Amino acid sequence: MMMGWADVSFHGSPQIPTPNLDALAADGVVLNNYYVHPACTASRGAFMTGLYSIRYGLQNTPIQPGQPYGLDLKYTLLPQHLKRLGYETHLIGKWHLGSYRYEYTPTRRGFDSFYGFYYGHEDYYTHMLHHTQDGKQVSGLDLWNGTDPAHDAMGVYGTELFTNKAVRLIENLDKSKFLYLSHQAPHSGNYDEPLQAQKNNMDKFPYIGENNRTIYAGMVDSLDESVGSVVRALGEAGMLQDSVIVFSADNGGVPWGYMASRGINWPLRGAKSSPWEGASRAAAFVWSPLLDKSRRVSDQLMHITDWLPTFYALAGGSTSDLEPLDGHDMWATLSRDEPSQRFNIVYNIDPLWDYAAIRSNNFKIVVGSHAGGRFDQRFPIPGGQRPSQTDLDGLMEEVSPRSQLTNVFLFDLDKDPCECNNLASTHKQVLDSMNSVLEEYRAQTVPPIKPAVDPASFPENHDGTWAPWVD
Which residue is catalytic, options 40, 127, 328, 370? 40
Which residue is catalytic, options 37, 81, 90, 96? 96
The strand ranges marked E within 317-402 are 344-350, 355-360, 363-368
Report how far Cα 196 is from the mean position of its chain's Cα atoms: 19
Residue 257 identity:
G
How many CB atoms are located within 10 Å of the residue 11 CB? 17
Residues 6+ apart with CB under 8 A from 383: 15, 207, 208, 209, 210, 213, 214
C-alpha distances (whole Å) from 470 to each of 102, 104, 273, 302, 446 are 8, 11, 29, 38, 24
Query: In angstroms, rounded to a whole number, what is the distance separating the alpha carbons of residues 64 and 198?
Result: 27
- For residue 188, the SS3 value is coil
Residue 281 is classified by DSSP as B
Annotation says 130 is catalytic: no
Per the CB < 8 A criterion, the answer to whether 21 and 227 are in contact is yes
- For 190, counting Cβ atoms within 10 Å of its Cβ (0-12 exposed, 13-18 middle, 19+ buried), the class is buried
Short-list 406, 430, 432, 429, CA closest to 419: 406
Question: Buried b / exposed e across 43-76, counting CB within 10 Å, b at 16+?
Answer: bbbbbbbbbbbbbbbbbbbbbbbbbbbbbbeebb
Longest Cα–Cα distance of the chain, Å, equals 61
Annotation says 96 is catalytic: yes
Residue 150 identity:
A
The catalytic site residues sit at: 40, 96
